[in-house]
Every structure is written in structure tokens, then in C-alpha cells.
């Protein structure tokens, strides 16, 4: 039998299109031909199961890749189903006709649903991206079949004739182009095959043709296919007097060794961990798999094993890695597989964007891939897969928080960027995680959001019920109000009456800190009043708390320096309050003039902590806007001094310096003291800009000189 002809193709220029456009990476031909080889093995095993063929005794499914750098060839050999001349005509000569699809349609009612890897007839033609010409030698499993030899030089002409192959299966020989010789280099071939084929379902071996290398094994380790070059006898040891004295003891003979032709290297794991059920996997196996696949020798924090059969088939393992956020980029890698065949990393249609910070593998045979398998077709089914993965991650985290809170606390600093980013990107994920988000308080303890809402209630209620006293400590008649503006009676009970409904709607405040060192004065005030706040010092925290506020109408976040609540003030009589209001007007003007800030608001309050002379507050809304401006460097403005708007300077009427200013408005050094009080308050909020810091240091020196005189 000999035949020549033209390939039946859909375009006159199919090969240039394949070479240039079909696949973005030329090394992908390895994936395609090895996938087809595994596909052929799956088919012949189905024939055996259905009684249409009997596999030979000792049959071991395998794919061999044989390199010959001298001849510039690569051979891909399988012991699969093989092809008849008619099948070569149909599946090879008629490009873009899928043999795998036809096979499944023909036998779908006769066997179980073992997956066939190949979905695209064009896969074989990826070999022409790297080859000057390609040969196929194949022998079908059918009893009366003749072997077939097929060649094509990458044009539209082919040659097909009887072949000489004796064993059932297929050998594809690639004669590489000069610019693609790297692919028959052993190290390059191993790298590419391990990238695409590490978990294919049948063993894949790599070897060099006419291998001259050797290795030494014990005689007991010899396999039937080993080629023995030399037998190495054990060295004879001279018998010592000590040895001869040990009568009755059997001398253990040393085993012979064999020098053999170097064996082909096994390159894949046919039973990846994700294909097992979670109960059959140990922690050590999960960690070893992580090290092997991701070359990361830091242990993962924990992992999620996905295992789903309905309504779609999906398996995988997602690892939460330990990341040093200060020195490492938070970039993960999730490898996507289709029937154990590597497709791509981080395909955003399948993997929710925020989970790409994780490391993991996902195998989904039902993915609607395009011809090159490197991207997904637009399909609503893909969105369901993405939603499922997101749901399982949320369930795992919630379960961990409920059943293993101690470890969940330990993990939080590492996993919080993933979770916070996820809450920003996915509303459903945010809703599922709402009650399992943790906040670290000033003592380093982690609390959930519901717990965080309760922490300051006791201190606030105590402050609201506290008796009002004048500056001499005498009880005065004063209206005391709680945090919601409701009047409180002498027994500390709120007279809410018809305001009860409004109270329920009033949001609870959660206080937070962004810089423990910078805001230490405020922290000390909080602790003194047995109040608590949470540390939110990551860049993502600003948008994150805004997201939580939008999802929880009953809460609001406020930085501890945004306002001064009644908890920190001494109660004063109405008479004293009116006096302070009068003084505020005059001192306020004097202070604005001294510090050259007309936007500054000045208030006089009696603080419980008499050591504090002045404080600066910036409203939460103003500061968030300024933070946003800093983040985007809006209009090139420098915002290191918090800007000049939205500031309120609070002067403590209980402090001697403030009393001095109140009593000596025309004093010689009042302006200097005003400037110093202002800068002392500012420096507790944020670093001073260069000019302000220079003035502050110089002024401090001047003040010390006055003390020294």
C-alpha cells in the first residue's frame, strides 16, 4: 500500500497559521503529542474492558520520549491503540477532525466515563512548529491491521505507505528545525515535560537514543528490561583472628552489583494527590506535594482539598502560603489542569482574582477550552466553577474559625491580605466571611466582628452614668447623656422613651489604630479608661473597613484620634461650659494667628488625664479623604502634615500650660507656647514635615534656654 496526496484542510495556508498563531509557546507540542499518546493508551484499555481486545500479559501502559541530539530527532512512543491506514487518513490527513470526539461518541454507551484527554485533531499538528518534517509509524490493535508509515514535510503534501512496526502502538518522530534544536536537549526536554506532563495518567519516560551512560545497581534491584554491561563481584575481605573466633555465626555475604545501561527517567506522578479523597491524604503528603510542585520549602499554613463530582467534575488543592509581606510580592500561582494535563497558570476566568494570591492546583475535565487549550471559551459554566471555588474557600475559613480558633488566630496575620482582598473583590465572599474576620486589639488578642462590637460598651456606659462634678470636685446638676444622645438619670438608666427605636438604628463605633508608635498618646488614654481599639496598619485596611461599613449598616470605624468622646472628659457644670465657650473664641483667634492656620478649630475641654496639654483630632471623613489623596498623590500634593483642613485642637483646661495661656493672653511668651502646644498635638498624629520639624526643634531649644536662665 502506498499513497500520496494533499491534506484535507480548511485553509490553503494552515501550517503557517499553526506555526505562528495557534499556540503562543512552541514548547507546547510536547504536551499535545504526549496527551495524544495517553489518549491512545486509554482507548486500548477500553477495548480490553469491553472484550474487543486482549492486552498482552504484563502489559504496562507507558509513553517513551527518546532524544537524539546527533540526528536532531525526538521520538514519542506509546503502546496505545494505534491506527489503521483508514484511521490515519481520517484523523491525520483530515486536519481539524477530532478522533477523540468520534471515539467517545462511538463507545459512550459501552463503557464507563474514563476521560479521553485529546479534544482537538489539531494537537498533532503542533509538532510542525518545531519540525522540518514529521514521521508516524503506527500499528492498530485490530487483528488484521497492517502497520502504516506516514511522512509530511510541513507543506500540504503527505506520503503514506506500509510500515515495519511490529508492536501495537504509535511512534511519532520529529526531525527538528535548526532553530528548535533545544528541544532535543535532555535538560530542556525534562523541564518542558515536567511543566506540562507531571501528572499525566500514564508513566512517561525520558531517555537518549543509543544511550552510552551507565548506572550501578544491586543485583536484587534488576528489572527485566535492564541491559547488563558488567557484573561487579563483591570485594573479598581477609579473614581476621577475630572473625575466625566467632564460631557458629553465619557470615553475611555481600550482594553483587550490576553495571547497567542507564535507565530511562520517570518524569511524572500518575496518581497526583488531588485525585485522592481527602481522608486518604496525610499532612506530610500535602506538604511534600506543595514542596514538589511549587519549589517552596516554607511550609504552607494550611490547605483546602476540593473534591466535587456534581454538577461538574472538579478536584484540586489550594494552599495558603506563608508570605513575608515586607520582602516578598504576594503573588501566588494556581495551576489549571484538564484530566491531569497542564493547561495554564492563573486563568482568571476560573480562579477568582483574589485567590490568585494562593498556590494550588485545580483539575477540571469539564472546562470548555479553545483549540490551543491555553484559554477558555466564554461560557457561563466557567463562572459557576469560579463561584464554587470561592464558596469552598469561605466555608473552610469559617469552619476553621469556629472549630480551631486558636490556630485561626495564629494564621490571621498571614491570611488576612487574602481575605480582605477577597472581601473587596467579591460581595458574596464578603458576606460569608463577615463574622469570621478577625481584629487584633491593643493587647494582641484577636476578636471577630461581633465580638469587636461589644468591647467598649461597659466603659462607655460607665462614663455616661458618671456623676457631674465641678472643677473643685463638687457634685453639680448637669444633664448626662449616653453615646446616642439620650439623657441618663441618676441611677445611670437612660431615659430613652420614644427614642428607643432610634437607639437601635444608631451604629456602633469600632475604634482603630494605624500606627501604634505615632498614636501612642491616644492609646494610653484608651487604656486608662479601660477602652480598646484595633490595629489596622495595612494599606488594604482603608478600603476594607469602608467595604465592611457598606455591608454592615450598624457599624462605623473611627480612628482613635478622629474625635474625643465623653469617656475622656471630666464632667463640667453648664456654667463652666459657657465660660470655656467664651475663652475658646479669644484663645482660638490667638492660636490661629500664632500657628498661621485659619482653618484650625480650637476647643477647650477638661480631660481626665491632667498630664496631657493638647491634642489634635482630624475627623474620620476628612482623614480618609486625605489618605486617598496620599495614596494617589493627587495633584502632586504632599500630605505628610495631614493637610490643614479638618483639624480640631483640643486644649486641656486641667493642664497648667493651658491655664497659663488662658490667664495671660498678652504674655511675652504666649505665642511661643501656643506654637509648641500645636506642634506637640500634631506630632502625636503624624510626622511633621521638614520645615515644621526644624521650627519645632529650634523652638524647643529656645524654651530650654529660657528654663536655663
Reply yes or no on whether the pLDDT at 74 is more than 90: yes
Q: CA torsion angle for 165, 169, 170, 171 (degrees, to 10)?
A: -60
- Looking at mean pLDDT, say which of 69-73, 379-383, 494-498, 525-529 comes out highest: 69-73
The helix-helix angle for 656-663 and 670-683 (nearest 10°) equals 140
Give the mean pLDDT of 125-152: 91
pLDDT tens, 151-191?
Answer: 988 776 789 999 999 999 999 999 999 989 999 999 999 99
Per-residue pLDDT, 485: 46
Give the mean pLDDT of 209-220: 74
pLDDT band at 444 (very low <50, low <70, confident <90, very high): very high
Reply yes or no on whether the pLDDT at 641 is more than 70: no
Q: Are 594 and 641 in contact (CB under 8 A)?
A: no
Give the mean pLDDT of 567-588: 78
pLDDT tens, 531-560?
Answer: 899 999 888 898 899 999 998 888 899 999
Per the structure block, which three cell numbers stand in for 203? 508513566
Least-confidence region, from 48-52, 189-193, 504-508: 504-508
Per-residue pLDDT, 15: 56
Strands 341-345 and 359-363 turn out to be unpaired
pLDDT band at 102 (very low <50, low <70, confident <90, very high): low
Per-residue pLDDT, 106: 59
Least-confidence region, from 276-290, 374-388, 480-494, 563-577: 480-494
Least-confidence region, from 30-44, 276-290, 332-346, 568-582: 568-582
Please report, for residues 368, 441, 448, 530, the alpha-carbon distance to residue 445 in angstroms, rounded to integers and kept in the order given.
47, 5, 10, 15
Q: Are 647 and 639 in contact (CB under 8 A)?
A: no
Please report, for residues 202, 267, 335, the alpha-carbon distance to residue 198 in angstroms, rounded to integers and kept in the order given.
10, 6, 12
The CB density around residue 28, as the number of other CB atoms within 10 Å, is 22
Per-residue pLDDT, 138: 95
Give the mean pLDDT of 396-421: 91
H/E segment holding residue 662:
helix 656-663
pLDDT band at 135 (very low <50, low <70, confident <90, very high): very high
Reply yes or no on whether the pLDDT at 111 is more than 50: no
Least-confidence region, from 7-21, 225-239, 331-345, 385-399: 7-21
Give the mean pLDDT of 365-391: 71
Reply yes or no on whether the pLDDT at 492 is more than 50: no
pLDDT band at 98 (very low <50, low <70, confident <90, very high): very low
Q: Are 478 and 502 in contact (CB under 8 A)?
A: no
Reply yes or no on whether the pLDDT at 273 is more than 90: yes
Q: Percent of the chain scored above 70 by pLDDT?
A: 77
Per-residue pLDDT, 119: 45
Reply yes or no on whether the pLDDT at 37 is more than 50: yes
Cis peptide before 327 (omega within 30 of 0): no
- Looking at mean pLDDT, say which of 6-15, 224-233, 492-501 comes out highest: 224-233
Nearest Cα residue to 654 out of 584, 582, 606, 587 = 606
Reply yes or no on whether the pLDDT at 13 is more than 60: no
Reply yes or no on whether the pLDDT at 613 is more than 60: yes
Per-residue pLDDT, 22: 54
Contacting residues for 244 by C-beta, under 8 A, at least 6 apart: none
Reply yes or no on whether the pLDDT at 487 is more than 60: no
CA–centroid distance for 398 within its chain: 17
Nearest Cα residue to 210 out of 350, 42, 50, 75 = 75
Least-confidence region, from 519-533, 602-616, 617-631: 617-631
Give the mean pLDDT of 686-696: 89
Q: CA torsion angle for 536, 538, 539, 544 (degrees, to 10)?
A: -50
Give the mean pLDDT of 594-601: 86
Reply yes or no on whether the pLDDT at 369 is more than 90: no
Give the mean pLDDT of 287-316: 88
Please report, for residues 483, 485, 494, 504, the alpha-carbon distance to residue 498 in angstroms, rounded to integers and kept in the order given.
16, 13, 12, 12
Instruction: For residue 569, give the DSSP letter.
Output: B
Reply yes or no on whether the pLDDT at 358 is more than 60: yes
Give the mean pLDDT of 407-423: 90
Reply yes or no on whether the pLDDT at 97 is more than 50: no
Contacting residues for 121 by C-beta, under 8 A, at least 6 apart: 91, 94, 95, 96, 97, 98, 99
Cα–Cα distance measured from residue 183 to residue 192, given in angstroms and rounded to the nearest whole number:
9
Per-residue pLDDT, 258: 73
pLDDT band at 91 (very low <50, low <70, confident <90, very high): confident
Nearest Cα residue to 619 out of 650, 596, 598 = 650
Reply yes or no on whether the pLDDT at 651 is more than 60: yes
pLDDT band at 370 (very low <50, low <70, confident <90, very high): low
pLDDT band at 631 (very low <50, low <70, confident <90, very high): low
Residue with more model confidence, 588 or 246 = 588
Per-residue pLDDT, 322: 79
CA–centroid distance for 669 within its chain: 59
Per-residue pLDDT, 338: 85
Cα–Cα distance measured from residue 495 to residue 481, given in angstroms and rounded to the nearest whole number:
9
297 φ, ψ (degrees, to nearest 5): -95, 5
Per-residue pLDDT, 553: 86
For the entire predicted model, the pTM comes to 0.73
Residue with more model confidence, 161 or 385 = 161
> What is the overall mean pLDDT for the chain?
80
Sort residue 346 into left (φ over 0), alpha (ψ -120 to 50) or beta: left
Amino acid at each position: 500500500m502506498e499513497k500520496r496526496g494533499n491534506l484535507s484542510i480548511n485553509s490553503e495556508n494552515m501550517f503557517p497559521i499553526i506555526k505562528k498563531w495557534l499556540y503562543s509557546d512552541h514548547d507546547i507540542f510536547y504536551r499535545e503529542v504526549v496527551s495524544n499518546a495517553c489518549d491512545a493508551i486509554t482507548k486500548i484499555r477500553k477495548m480490553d474492558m469491553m472484550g474487543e481486545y486482549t492486552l498482552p500479559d504484563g502489559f504496562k501502559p507507558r509513553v517513551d520520549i527518546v532524544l537524539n541530539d546527533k540526528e536532531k530527532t525526538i521520538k514519542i512512543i506509546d503502546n496505545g491503540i494505534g491506527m489503521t491506514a483508514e484511521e490515519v487518513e481520517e484523523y491525520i490527513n483530515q486536519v481539524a477532525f477530532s478522533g477523540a470526539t468520534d471515539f467517545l461518541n462511538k463507545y459512550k454507551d459501552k463503557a464507563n466515563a474514563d476521560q479521553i484527554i485529546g479534544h482537538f485533531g489539531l494537537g498533532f499538528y503542533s509538532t510542525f512548529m518545531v519540525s522540518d518534517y514529521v514521521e508516524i509509524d503506527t500499528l492498530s490493535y485490530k487483528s488484521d491491521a497492517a502497520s502504516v508509515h506516514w511522512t509530511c514535510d510541513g507543506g500540504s503534501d503527505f506520503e503514506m505507505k506500509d510500515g515495519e512496526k511490529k508492536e501495537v502502538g504509535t511512534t511519532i518522530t520529529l526531525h527538528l528545525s535548526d532553530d528548535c534544536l533545544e528541544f532535543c536537549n535532555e535538560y530542556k526536554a525534562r523541564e518542558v515535560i515536567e511543566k506540562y506532563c507531571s501528572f499525566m495518567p500514564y508513566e512517561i519516560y525520558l531517555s537518549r537514543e543509543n544511550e552510552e551512560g551507565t548506572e550501578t545497581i544491586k543485583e536484587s534491584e534488576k528489572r527485566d528490561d535492564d541491559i547488563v554491561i558488567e557484573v561487579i563481584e563483591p570485594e573479598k575481605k581477609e579473614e581476621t583472628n577475630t572473625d575466625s573466633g566467632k564460631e557458629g555465626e553465619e557470615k553475611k555475604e555481600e550482594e553483587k552489583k550490576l553495571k547497567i545501561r542507564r535507565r530511562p527517567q520517570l518524569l511524572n506522578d500518575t496518581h497526583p494527590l488531588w485525585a485522592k479523597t481527602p481522608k486518604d491524604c496525610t499532612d506530610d503528603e500535602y506538604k511534600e506535594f506543595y514542596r514538589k510542585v511549587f519549589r517552596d520549602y516554607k511550609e504552607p499554613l494550611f490547605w483546602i482539598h476540593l473534591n466535587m463530582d456534581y454538577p461538574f467534575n472538579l478536584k484540586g488543592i489550594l494552599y495558603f502560603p506563608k508570605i513575608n509581606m515586607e520582602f516578598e510580592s504576594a503573588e501566588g500561582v494556581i495551576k489549571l489542569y484538564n484530566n491531569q494535563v497542564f493547561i495554564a497558570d492563573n486563568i482568571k476566568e476560573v480562579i477568582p482574582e483574589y485567590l490568585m494570591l494562593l498556590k494550588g492546583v485545580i483539575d477540571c475535565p469539564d472546562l470548555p477550552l479553545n483549540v490551543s487549550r491555553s484559554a477558555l471559551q466564554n461560557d457561563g459554566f466557567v463562572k459557576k466553577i469560579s463561584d464554587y471555588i470561592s464558596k469552598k474557600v469561605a466555608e473552610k475559613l469559617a469552619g476553621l474559625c469556629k472549630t480551631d480558633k486558636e490556630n485561626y488566630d495564629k494564621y490571621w496575620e498571614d491570611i488576612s491580605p487574602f481575605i480582605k482582598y477577597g472581601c473587596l473583590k467579591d460581595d458574596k465572599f464578603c458576606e460569608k466571611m463577615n463574622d469570621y474576620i478577625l481584629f487584633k486589639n491593643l493587647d494582641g488578642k484577636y476578636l471577630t466582628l461581633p465580638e469587636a462590637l461589644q468591647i467598649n460598651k461597659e466603659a462607655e456606659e460607665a462614663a455616661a452614668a458618671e456623676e457631674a462634678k465641678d472643677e473643685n470636685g463638687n457634685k453639680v446638676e448637669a444633664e448626662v447623656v449616653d453615646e446616642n444622645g439620650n439623657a441618663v438619670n441618676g441611677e445611670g438608666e437612660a431615659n430613652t422613651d420614644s427614642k428607643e427605636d432610634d437607639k437601635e438604628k444608631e451604629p456602633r463605633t469600632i475604634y482603630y489604630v494605624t500606627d501604634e508608635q505615632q498614636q501612642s498618646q491616644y492609646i494610653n488614654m484608651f487604656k486608662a479608661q479601660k477602652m480598646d481599639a484595633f490595629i489596622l496598619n495595612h494599606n488594604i485596611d482603608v478600603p476594607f473597613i469602608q467595604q465592611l461599613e457598606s455591608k454592615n449598616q450598624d457599624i462605623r470605624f473611627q480612628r482613635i484620634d478622629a474625635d474625643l468622646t465623653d469617656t475622656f472628659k471630666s464632667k463640667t457644670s453648664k456654667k463652666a461650659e459657657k465660660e470655656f465657650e467664651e475663652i475658646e473664641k479669644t484663645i482660638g483667634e490667638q492660636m490661629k494667628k500664632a500657628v498661621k492656620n485659619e482653618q484650625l478649630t480650637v476647643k477647650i475641654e477638661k480631660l481626665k488625664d491632667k498630664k496631657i496639654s493638647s491634642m489634635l483630632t482630624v475627623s474620620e471623613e476628612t482623614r480618609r479623604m486625605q489618605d486617598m489623596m496620599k495614596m494617589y498623590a493627587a495633584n502632586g500634593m504632599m500630605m505628610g502634615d495631614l493637610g490643614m483642613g479638618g483639624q480640631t485642637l483640643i486644649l486641656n483646661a486641667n493642664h497648667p500650660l493651658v491655664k497659663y495661656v488662658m490667664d495671660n493672653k498678652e504674655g511675652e511668651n504666649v505665642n511661643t507656647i501656643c506654637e509648641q502646644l500645636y506642634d506637640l498635638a500634631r506630632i502625636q498624629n503624624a510626622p511633621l514635615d521638614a520645615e515644621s520639624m526644624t521650627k519645632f526643634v529650634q523652638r524647643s531649644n529656645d524654651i530650654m534656654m529660657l528654663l536655663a536662665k
